[in-house]
Structure 1
Amino acid sequence: MPYKYIKKYCSKILIVGLLVIYSCSPKNNSIRTVSEQSSDIPQLKYSTKNENYVSAHRGGSGIKNYPENCIETFDYLFKNGIQIFEIDVAETKEGNLVLMHDNSLQRTSTGRQDVNQVTLNQLKEYFLVDDFGNKTSFKIPTFKEALKWGKNKPIYFMVDIKKGVDYNDIIKEIKETTMQNQVVLVTYTIGQAKKMHQLAPNMLLSVSMRNEREFNEMINSGIAKDKMVAFTGTKRNDPSLLKKIHEENILVIFGTLGNLDKSSAAKNGQLYRDLEKDGVDIFATDRAIFVHQTINKN
């Protein structure tokens, strides 16, 4: 057979082979399906933990052009590896639940009134402002809009309930969006924790264990330990307390908010690595992306 025909024949075989290989390969390995995402939801138990997590304070703060308590900010952080978002839920004049930290709209939006003095329709006319005073095109989200964004994503919301908001209203919207397994209800006192556990016995709670007294109080409170995540405050604890918490199969949340985040920035993140060695499992921080890039490397 002449050489030119052999060359042409071999080229055809090569092309067919490549087409077969391509047709058998995933069309896009970088895209995760909804079912894959759902199976990747962090299991907030010490016994099943295989990495440490970051909780973005106020849903993400200190990010230029991305305001706090904002769905677009959640999306930006999620794409950068963040899986836990601490959000603040307030109530409008007619009782709609929205994401807002302050009583007043002034710091984080173009509104000037208090949240509970405006209707949802009025509130939706305003735009969110980032931590540097830049007006964005983003709107103040309702609690339900945030929950729907998180649905079928491997994320948790730490839900901080602002003063005056009825716990039952919060729980109702969580159930309506079937997000019971993707929320942690934030509590600050043992009384609040007991009340919340009574209303939502199947939902996780963030409970205060900042010292031995609070640890013993919570462990003996009657609240199911498998529904607890322990917040140990914003002052570094003796690792022995964190060890006791872990022995109860409970994860430790520690807040590096404010001064600790600032001091760690000056030391290239060494504090976060030291806190990992102490036993911190979840870092509540204003520097979510940096902390995420720093931890889990020991």
Structure 2
Amino acid sequence: MYKNLLALVIIMACNACTQAQPGQLHVLNIKNAKELRAFFRYTGHDIPFISGHRGGVNKGYPENSIEAFENTLRHTPATFEIDPRLTKDSVIVLMHDATLDRTTTGTGKVSDYTLAELKQLQLKDVEGKVTSYRIPTLEEAIRWSKGKTVLILDKKDVPFEMTAKIIRDHHAEGHIMVTVHNAGEAKFYHDRNPEIVFEAFVKTPKALQEYEALGIPWTHIMAYVGPHNKPELQPLYEQLHQRGVMCMISAAPTYDKLPDAAERAAAYQAIIRDGASLIEADRSIEAAEAIQSLVPSGSSKQRFFGLR
């Protein structure tokens, strides 16, 4: 009993030491693509963490905004799934919807506006309240994120070649990943830039075989296995883990929507206990708090987590 109490005190002290102070952010210490691949390599003793869906959706901080990223990082280390779209003058901005109405003070299609026109709009938060924050460009987000976090680019209306070019031009392979829905998409990027790391849809053993058939290195893949934590995933987890691949479940369309906080916390914890290494969540801060007790001591991955 004494030993258990002492261990609890030590864990609490360690947790207290890693709390961000005012002005500090939790950061991921990843310097290049090689370190990014090491960060995502499954070891069986990894530190579970959160990927903020659309940057994390929290009251007062609009989705796909740099301010939302920073708000999450004040509470927890995280990666961020974001949504690049093209403006009328072919600039890439961050916006999930094809239209402006839900998340901004504007109306109509994103593609009908120039960047200068979009910069005049204000972003709305999850409750629809207007904030002072503006639509960021992908270039602004790439520059901001270096040395802090990893951005994962979802597939919207930006041509693949244009996505590959902006990563190459900014030498951003160490902190920008690309979402691919199948092995063919991964091959397109890998053939043009073998340093790019993917959030890859690998929901079935058949999909796994397709990535192998096209020669996509497993060292370059973090696997998205779907939005549901279910027993049928266990054989897929085993195959992916044997290949050194971390797996992710997205709680955004499922467990984030549970009405009870305790129920949500139990669901987040079960995702990690059952085999996933990270959770994509709208409720980025809440999900991170729920899985904090599952962080193992002495993980070699601790070197990637810091405060700045």
Q: Do the structures match in fold with TM over 0.5?
A: yes
- Is 1:68 aligned to 2:63, yes or no? yes
SS of aligned partner of 2:222: strand
SS at match of 1:109: coil
Larger mean Cα displacement after TM superposition, 128-137 or 42-51 = 42-51
Which residue number in structure 2 is paired with residue 116 of structure 1? 111
Indicate yes or no: 2:231 matched with 1:234. Answer: no
**CA-to-aligned-CA distance 1:8-53 (integer Å, 9 cap, x gap):** xxxxxxxxxxxxxxxxxxxxx96889x9945697811113863011
Q: Residue 299 of structure 2 aligns with which residue? A: none
Partners of 1:211 and 1:253 in 2: CA distance: 13
Q: Using the TM superposition, give the Cα deviation of residue 171 of structure 1 relative to its aligned residue in structure 2, in angstroms.
A: 2.3
Instruction: Name which structure has the greater RCO, CA cutoff 8 Å, separation 6+.
Output: 2
1:65: Cα distance to partner?
1.2
Rounded Cα–Cα distance in structure 1 between residues aligned with 2:42 and 2:52: 20
Q: Deviations over 1:187-223 (max 9, x none)?
A: 1122222212222211101111112211222233211
Q: Using the alignment, how far apart are the partners of 2:28 and 2:242 within structure 1?
A: 31
Q: What residue number does 1:135 align with? A: 130
Residue 39 of structure 2: SS of its match in structure 1?
coil
- Aligned pairs for 1:1-298 (under 5 A) are 37-38=29-30, 43-47=39-43, 50-61=46-57, 63-153=58-148, 155-163=149-157, 165-237=158-230, 238-263=233-258, 265-298=261-294
Question: Contact between 1:197 and 1:205, CA under 8 Å: does it hold in 2?
Answer: no
Task: Write the distance in 2 (CA, Å) between the matches of 1:168 and 1:50.
Answer: 33
Q: Is the 8 A contact 1:56 1:82 kept in 2?
A: no
Q: Secondary structure at the match of 1:186?
A: strand
What's the TM-score once normalised by structure 1's chain length? 0.83
Residue 268 of structure 2 aligns to a residue in which SS? Answer: helix
Query: 2-side partners of 1:266 and 1:43: how far apart?
Result: 30
Farther-moved stretch of structure 1 (110-119 vs 233-242) = 233-242
Shift in Å, 1:180: 1.0
Query: How far, CA to CA, are the matches of 1:241 and 1:265 in structure 2?
Result: 29
Highest CA radius of gyration, 1 or 2?
Answer: 1
Q: Aligned residue pairs: how many?
A: 267
Would you identify which runs of 4 or more consecutive aligned residues in structure 1 move more than 4 Å? 29-33, 35-42
> Is the contact made by 1:82 and 1:288 (CA closer than 8 Å) also made in structure 2?
no
What secondary structure, in the 3-state scheme, does the structure 1 residue paired with 2:43 have? Answer: helix
Q: Decide whether the 8 Å contact of 2:227 with 2:253 is kept in 1.
A: no
**Alpha-carbon displacement from aligned partner over 1:135-170 (angstroms, at most 9, x marks no partner):** 0000000000001111122x111111312x122222
Question: Once the two structures are aligned, what percentage of the paired residues are identical?
Answer: 29
Say which SS state the counterpart of residue 185 (structure 2) adopts.
Answer: helix
Secondary structure in structure 2 of the residue aligned to 1:98: strand
8 Å Cα contact 1:43/1:49 also seen in 2 = no
Whole-Å separation in 1 of the counterparts to 2:271 and 2:200: 19
Separation in 2 of the partners of 1:36 and 1:250?
Answer: 19
Cα RMSD (Å): 2.5
